[in-house]
Amino acid sequence: MMKKIMVEKIYLMRHGLTESNKKKIYAGGSMEGLCDKGMKELFDVAEKLEGFKIEKIISSPVRRAVQSAVIINIYRKFI
């Protein structure tokens, strides 16, 4: 008897660029948001992920991570 094997994929992604990142400053748990370049880069990445079947997005509560998740979610293919 053959068993079905369920294969799941987990994609990990870091938040987009912030002003602190550009200055090489550690922002830690600050609530700093994305800079304009970080937003543009995320929209570019999100477009590339458009065909992926992403079932769930989980994010840290810090502003830059939430902004990143929202942008990715705009293009995600719902299952």
Q: Taking residues 41-67, what's their average pLDDT?
A: 90
pLDDT of res. 38: 95
Q: Taking residues 27-32, what's their average pLDDT?
A: 84
pLDDT of res. 1: 66
Over 70: is that where the pLDDT of 78 sits? no
Q: List the chain domain ranges.
A: 33-75
Q: Which residue reads 């937003």 in tokens?
A: 39
Per-residue confidence band for 53, with pLDDT thresholds at 50, 70 and 90: confident
pLDDT of res. 51: 80
Q: Which long-range contacts (CB under 8 A, 24 or more apart) does 75-79 make?
A: 75/46, 75/47, 75/49, 75/50, 76/46, 76/49, 76/50, 76/52, 77/50, 77/51, 77/52, 77/53, 79/53, 79/55
Q: Write the CB contacts of 39 (distance below 8 Å, at least 6 apart in sequence).
A: 16, 67, 71
